[in-house]
């Protein structure tokens, strides 16, 4: 009988990479399952100056998901586009960023003296879409952004006066009336 050697099996440990999910500007309301990022919030997981995107610790194409509730309106005007350029570069393709901001049609946008001018509107997010910028010949100077996001947005927290009305009446109210809704939701999806 011929003895054969049993080959040793090489054990390879699996490197499971945990998704990077960030709550930017988390304040004291960090979303469960997300890394809370805030310079001032005492319970933030990471203390990062979000007004200085060039110093952020995340590498390009590494972030899986972002939430950002009631923070964008605090970003100074000259920093908003660099903020979104950096967010875009660090997100993976097709990653999503969920944003909640005060509606410019609500006193919420103007009551907090730490909010920066101008208020955030739905139109702002079109400037973050490359095809829209190219179609409108906005590709130079301050418009020379790298980011390319698809965007969707809409009202949230509809005023109770309109809550029981038909959808057409609700859309009319949101389009034409101040204080019809206090906040706006935005979904940005990274595209190449």
Digit-coded pLDDT (tens) for 32-70: 999 999 999 999 999 999 999 999 999 999 999 999 999
Inside any domain, residue 177: yes
73 in Cβ contact with 120 (< 8 Å):
yes
Inside any domain, residue 6: no
**9-26: average pLDDT:** 83
Inside any domain, residue 1: no
Distances, alpha carbon 95 to alpha carbons 29, 89, 115, in Å: 22, 11, 27
What gap in Å lies between CA 184 and CA 192, rounded to an integer? 26
CATH number of the CATH domain containing 107? 3.40.50.150
Inside any domain, residue 2: no
- Tally of domains within the chain: 1
Nearest of 132, 128, 133, 140 to residue 190 by alpha carbon:
128
Inside any domain, residue 65: yes
Task: Respond yes or no on whether the N-terminal peptide bond of residue 118 is cis (omega within 30° of 0).
Answer: yes
Distances, alpha carbon 27 to alpha carbons 47, 110, 114, 144, 187, in Å: 11, 19, 14, 31, 20
> Percent of the chain beyond pLDDT 90?
91
Q: Provide the 3-class DSSP secondary structure of residue 29.
A: coil
Inside any domain, residue 161: yes
Nearest of 115, 58, 126 to residue 87 by alpha carbon:
58
Is 11 a residue whose pLDDT tops 70?
no
Inside any domain, residue 28: yes
Range of the domain at 67: 21-190
Inside any domain, residue 11: no
Q: Which two tokens stand for residue 114?
A: 């730490």
CA angle 126, 57, 128 (to 5 degrees): 5
- Provide the pLDDT confidence category of residue 135 given band limits of 50, 70 and 90: very high
User: How many other C-beta atoms are found inside a 10 Å radius of the C-beta of residue 81?
Assistant: 20
| pTM for the structure as a whole | 0.89
- Using one digit for the tens of pLDDT, what is the confidence trace for 87-102? 999 999 999 999 999 9
């Amino acid at each position: 009988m011929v003895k054969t050697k049993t080959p040793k099996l090489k054990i390879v440990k699996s490197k499971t990479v945990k998704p990077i999910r960030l709550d930017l500007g988390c304040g004291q309301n960090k979303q469960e399952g997300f890394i809370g990022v805030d310079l001032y919030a005492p319970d933030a997981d990471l203390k990062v100056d979000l007004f200085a995107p060039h110093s952020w610790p995340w590498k390009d194409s590494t972030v899986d998901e972002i939430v950002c509730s009631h923070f964008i309106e605090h970003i100074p005007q000259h920093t908003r586009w660099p903020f979104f350029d950096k967010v875009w570069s660090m997100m993976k393709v097709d990653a999503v960023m969920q944003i909640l901001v005060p509606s410019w049609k609500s006193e919420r946008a103007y009551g907090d003296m730490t909010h920066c001018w101008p208020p955030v509107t739905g139109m702002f997010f079109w400037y973050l879409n490359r095809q829209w910028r190219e179609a409108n010949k906005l590709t130079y100077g301050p418009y020379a952004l790298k980011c390319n996001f698809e965007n969707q947005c809409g009202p949230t927290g509809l005023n109770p006066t309109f809550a029981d009305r038909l959808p057409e009446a609700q859309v009319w109210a949101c389009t034409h009336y101040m204080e019809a809704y206090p906040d706006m939701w935005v979904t940005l999806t990274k595209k190449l």
